[in-house]
């Protein structure tokens, strides 16, 4: 095959498999359901490796060996090069001393390389230049138009697809955290919604979207979205949501009910005790209350009751403190056992000073020694 090349190009592998010459609008969409493109796609994917014919055939075709198989491989590669260049001169694949490899002499860009570069730069700038980091993550997310080499059903491609799915999900979550820190909650929801369209079969994308809705204080929409997704999965594929998705749903449902209850006045819930929830639910309640506090400009304080390091812990002691807090805290307060030595308490509509005073009084009334308390402004 000739090494001559006359043009540069850009190769798109996400969503659709396309090749576009630079400085032109001319595009060629390649059908990976056609077996003739599999060798080209494989060598492009593993473009930094060299393969002998027998090795390449073993990856691409079942029960393909011998001279006829090598001739078929060469003919398919020759035909693909002619399709990709109108003059039939620019060969993307080279054969050098019985080794097949990608032709790096052709000036080109591949979306996967740009995609991974944007993610790498974004990760390197999170701590020092978060706004620049966000821009790089958003660029990477924009490049991901769907799964890698869509239409190719060969076994070798599945591991590569999973690699890029993990990268896009990690990038979406990094962008979510940055958008949240900039209080760009609507943009966070739009971002995760777009990701679900690019990867409709990837449940992690849907979980990201549900979490984004919750962080934007739109839990009712999150629950509706979950129900719609569950119906689609069951009707289309006969599948139920994963355990992670079901756990997320249950936590949102509990947190939504808890936040509604916390908004009641003391008069309407005078017969109720403080709310005890599991740690994962507490995290969600905290996020929702913090968002409400910021928007309403009201106080919110996080209190900690912790067993001193020099004091031995026991299940009975921690249970005793739990029962005491449940009876002694206000009905609008929410608390959890964070670990085997500490409790976290959420004081809505309470200043730091008020929470400190309440915590001191509580420990004075508790029968056992060894606990200390402190507060944080949320």
3-state SS, residue 300? strand
Burial class (CB in 10 A: 0-12, 13-18, 19+), 6: exposed
Average of pLDDT values for 291-308? Answer: 85
**Which residues 6+ apart lie within 8 Å of 342 measured at CB?**
304, 305, 306, 307
Fold agreement between 9-106 and 111-241: no
Mean pLDDT across the stretch 86-99?
69
The reported pLDDT for the residue numbered 265 is 37
What would the CATH number be for the domain defined by 9-106?
1.10.10.10
CATH class of segment(s) 268-377? alpha beta
Residue 351 predicted with pLDDT over 70: yes
Question: What would the pLDDT profile of 217-272 be if each residue is shown by its tens digit?
Answer: 898 899 999 999 988 877 776 677 888 888 888 888 777 765 554 444 334 434 45
Tell me: the pLDDT tens digits for 146-165? 999 988 888 899 999 999 99
Which pLDDT score, from 0 to 100, does residue 254 have?
Answer: 75
Residue pLDDT, tens place only, 232-244: 877 776 677 888 8
CA distances from 232 to 192, 226, 325 (A): 18, 10, 44
> What are the domain boundaries of the chain?
9-106, 111-241, 268-377
Model pLDDT, residue 145: 92
Please report, for residues 20, 27, 197, 370, the alpha-carbon distance to residue 24 in angstroms, rounded to integers and kept in the order given: 7, 8, 28, 75
Give residue 373's pLDDT: 74
Is pLDDT at 201 greater than 50 in this prediction? Answer: yes
Query: Which neighbouring-strand residues pair with 93?
Result: 102
E strands along 68-211, which residues? 93-96, 99-102, 108-110
Lowest mean pLDDT among 24-28, 47-51, 109-113, 300-304: 24-28
Determine the straight-line distance between the first and last CA of the chain, rounded to whole angstroms.
67
| pLDDT at residue 188 in the model | 94
Query: Is residue 72 very low, low, confident or very high in pLDDT (cuts 50, 70, 90)?
Result: confident
Determine which of 27-41, 142-156, 207-221, 266-280 has the lowest per-residue pLDDT on average: 266-280
Query: What average pLDDT does the structure give for the chain?
Result: 83
- Residue 374 neighbours by CB under 8 Å, 6+ apart: 303, 304, 306, 356, 359
The architecture in CATH of the region 111-241 reads Alpha Horseshoe (1.25)
> Does the pLDDT at position 65 exceed 80?
no
Residue 7, pLDDT above cutoff 80: no
Average pLDDT over residues 167-176: 93
pLDDT above 70 as % of the chain: 85
CB atoms within 10 A of CB 129: 14
């Amino acid at each position: 095959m000739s090494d001559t090349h006359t043009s540069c190009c850009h190769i798109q592998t996400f969503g659709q498999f396309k090749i576009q010459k630079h400085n032109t609008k001319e595009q060629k969409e390649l059908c990976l359901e056609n077996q003739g493109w599999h060798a080209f796609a494989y060598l492009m994917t593993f473009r930094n490796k060299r393969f002998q014919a027998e090795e390449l055939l073993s990856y691409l075709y079942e029960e393909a060996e011998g001279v006829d198989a090598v001739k078929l491989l060469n003919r398919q590669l020759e035909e693909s090069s002619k399709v990709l260049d109108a003059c039939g001169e620019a060969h993307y694949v080279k054969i050098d001393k019985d080794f097949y490899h990608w032709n790096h002499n052709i000036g080109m860009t591949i979306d996967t390389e740009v995609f991974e570069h944007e993610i790498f730069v974004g990760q390197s700038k999170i701590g020092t230049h978060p706004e620049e980091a966000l821009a790089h993550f958003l660029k990477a997310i924009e490049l991901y138009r769907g799964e890698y080499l869509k239409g190719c059903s060969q076994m070798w491609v599945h591991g590569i697809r999973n690699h890029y799915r993990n990268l896009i999900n990690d990038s979406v979550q990094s962008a979510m955290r940055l958008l949240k820190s900039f209080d760009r909650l609507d943009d966070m929801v739009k971002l995760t919604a777009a990701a679900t369209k690019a990867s409709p079969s990837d449940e992690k994308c849907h979980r990201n979207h549900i979490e984004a809705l919750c962080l934007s204080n739109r839990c009712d929409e999150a629950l509706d979205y979950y129900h719609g997704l569950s119906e689609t999965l069951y009707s289309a594929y006969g599948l139920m949501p994963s355990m992670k998705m079901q756990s997320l749903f249950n936590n949102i449902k509990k947190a939504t009910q808890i936040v509604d209850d916390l908004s009641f006045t003391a008069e309407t819930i005078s017969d109720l005790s403080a709310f005890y929830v599991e740690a994962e639910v507490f995290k969600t309640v905290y996020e929702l209350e913090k968002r409400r506090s910021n928007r309403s400009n009201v106080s919110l304080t996080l209190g900690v009751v912790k067993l001193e390091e020099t004091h031995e812990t026991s299940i009975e002691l921690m249970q005793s403190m739990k029962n005491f807090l449940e009876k002694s805290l206000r009905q609008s307060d929410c608390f959890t056992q964070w670990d085997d030595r500490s409790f976290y308490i959420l004081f809505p509509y309470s200043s730091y000073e008020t929470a400190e005073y309440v915590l001191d009084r509580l420990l004075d009334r508790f029968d056992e020694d060894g606990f200390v308390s402190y507060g944080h402004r949320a």
